[in-house]
Amino acid sequence: MVKEELKEIFDRFDMNCDGSLTHLELAALLRSIGVKPHGDQIHSLLANIDSNGNGSIEFQELLNLIIPLINQQQLMDIFRSFDKDGNGYITAVELAGQMSRMGQPLSFKQLTEMMREADANGDGVISLNEFATILASNFFL
């Protein structure tokens, strides 16, 4: 789900077209994307994401809530594409294989450098946290 899709959903649930969602509109929107919060959870959620304190949710406030969740899922999906055996770590062999499948084959020197740079604790594998850190620094991009 990208920003444009979220905007379409937001607009569809903004019944009075005022650019914001009431707690009832927010509840309906969340249910439409598979989240089924209780009444108390809606009020708590509204209080937490209503950064300007006006009692309703503007699109940017909704984005601030949803984008980190989407990004976290995308990170997990990318990590799993490298972690072929599913053990929670990326080995040098897995890194080299996935980079090759992506059309970016690595020389031994490049592979060694990437592993050295990404493996912050020096245990010979890349953990999810190390992977997230290196992606955030655009090392692989």
Side-chain half-sphere of 76: how many Cα atoms within 13 Å?
A: 6
- Examine the domain organization and report whether 9 and 66 are in the same domain: yes
48 and 102 share one domain: no
Whole-prediction pTM value?
A: 0.53
Residue 77 lies in a domain: no
Give tens-digit pLDDT for 2-42: 577 778 888 999 999 999 999 888 888 877 776 777 778 87
**By residue range, what is the domain housing residue 18?**
3-70
Domain assignment of residue 78, yes or no: no
Dist. CA 95–CA 99, nearest whole Å: 6
Same-domain check for residues 47 and 95 = no
In a domain, 75, yes or no: no
Domain with residue 114: its CATH number is 1.10.238.10
Q: Give yes or no: residues 60 and 96 share one domain.
A: no
pLDDT digits (tens, 9 = 90+) for 86-126: 999 999 999 999 988 888 899 999 999 999 999 999 999 99
